[in-house]
Amino acid sequence: MLPRQFVRENPDEVRRALEAKGVDVDLDRILEIDGEWRELKATGDDLRRQRNEVSSEIGELKREGNEEAAEEAIERSSELKAELEALEARADELEAELEAALLELPNPPHPDAPVGADESDNVEVERWGFEDRRALPDPVVPHYDLGEELGILDFDRGAKVSGGGFYVATGEGARLEHALIQFMLALHREEHGYTDVFPPIPVNSASMRGTGQFPKFVDDAYRLGDANDAPYDDDDLWLLPTAEVPVTNMYRDEILLDSDLPIKHQAYTPNFRREAGEHGTETRGIVRVHQFNKVEMVNFVRPENSYDRLEGLLGEAKAVLERLGLPYRVLEMCTGDMGFTQAKKYDVEVWAPGDDMEDGPEAGGRWLEVSSVSNFEGFQARRASIQYRPERHESAEYVHTLNGSGVAVPRVVVAILEYYQNEDGTVDVPEPLQPYMGGVERIDGHDPVGESALGAGE
């Protein structure tokens, strides 16, 4: 959230941020509301001063025995009170309107962020793992076909129990997801210094607003107990879209100590997204689903350290893929594709060789985003009121928050099934995952279950 004083004093910079991020907000109206609100506050202060003077005058007139003048002063005091109450009611209306409007303003991008309109303007800054990549079958079987052939991914039964966009991982498929989660948590805990958090899955509206999901992305959320378009208040509950929401909001409305920082938390959660705005995107397989597992890394740091921490956080996300031996690339996101809340953002995209895409690498296949690594600077901290006190005698300041997926599990499963598959249809388990799968080195698959799988009547 941008401070109203910043918006008031830097309208040109805010306009540039709106244009850079492609956000349509009536800034003139916000400035108009702010101007009227400040005028009312000034008038209110004057009315309170007048009323105090009249109150003092009433006492003096009564002591002098001038009852007629005292009654006139009392009447004037009542008029001032009524005028002040009407003015304060209008000021409260404007205050609420202004606060709601400020929530619609995006975080200005960092000056070094690439300027661009959409994903075609993102800048590739790194590519890893292609020079010594393993030999692949020809053709590579896409994960959705291979997963069903091995009996480890079941899309029909997922749709049966929950609807389209859900899947069931069974047997070695389920073990692979569990292994990835445990591997990531251990890596970040033991080598990167993270503290584990196991947060609630439902989060309230205040938490969604604090990290910037609301009001902009209400349609993408799963609401508990009512329709998304029904009015909601701070206590209404939603299924979390990312662990960023509960972990960041753990410290909402708190003042941290300087000695607390930096704070590095990680959390595994299932995540739920309707993807309401993703019309026409891929529906086959587990690339884009409504429920998916993810390990999220959330950092709270001093402002002067946040950009060094951003590079460190990027390295922690990349380490997951490097340990697994999965080729990837890193993109620096342009202003138009960065997102509403970020000041600077990197995407880490793993290589999945099973489906050729127009924007895929020369080796074929496609890129799948598995981590977005972002610096929000003080944007989320102001929305959620998360501060720290540099010294006990100094004023509190807003922390900087950062997060990055460490990493999203289903798309890594896609990459493993496609990159580590063999000519005979089996899949090698990356060595770092084998201890978390009870020593399993290769996924051989399972026999199908039920008449429908075998063919009824045969």
Q: Which of 372, 377, 382, 383 is catalytic?
A: 372
The C-alpha atoms of residue 408 and residue 292 are separated, in whole angstroms, by 8
288 is a catalytic site residue: yes
Q: Which of 369, 385, 389, 397 is catalytic?
A: 369
Q: Which of 273, 309, 329, 383 is catalytic?
A: 273
Q: Which of 90, 189, 252, 288 is catalytic?
A: 288
The C-alpha atoms of residue 237 and residue 245 are separated, in whole angstroms, by 12
pLDDT at residue 328, as a whole number: 98
452 is a catalytic site residue: no
Q: For 404-414, how does the pLDDT look when each residue is reduced to its tens digit (9 = 90+)?
A: 999 999 999 99
Cβ atoms of 418 and 443 closer than 8 Å: no
369 is a catalytic site residue: yes
Q: Which of 349, 382, 411, 418 is catalytic?
A: 411
Neighbouring CB atoms inside 10 A of 300's CB total 25
Q: For 264-313, how does the pLDDT look when each residue is reduced to its tens digit (9 = 90+)?
A: 999 999 999 997 545 444 668 999 999 999 999 999 999 999 999 999 99
pLDDT at residue 105, as a whole number: 96
The C-alpha atoms of residue 341 and residue 339 are separated, in whole angstroms, by 6
Task: Evaluate the CA torsion angle 286, 291, 297, 298 in order and state its sign.
Answer: positive
Which residues does 418 contact at the CB level (< 8 Å), separation at least 6?
140, 141, 142, 143, 146, 352, 353, 354, 365
Tokens matching residue 147: 């997963």
> Which residue numbers in the chain have pLDDT < 70?
276-283, 452-458
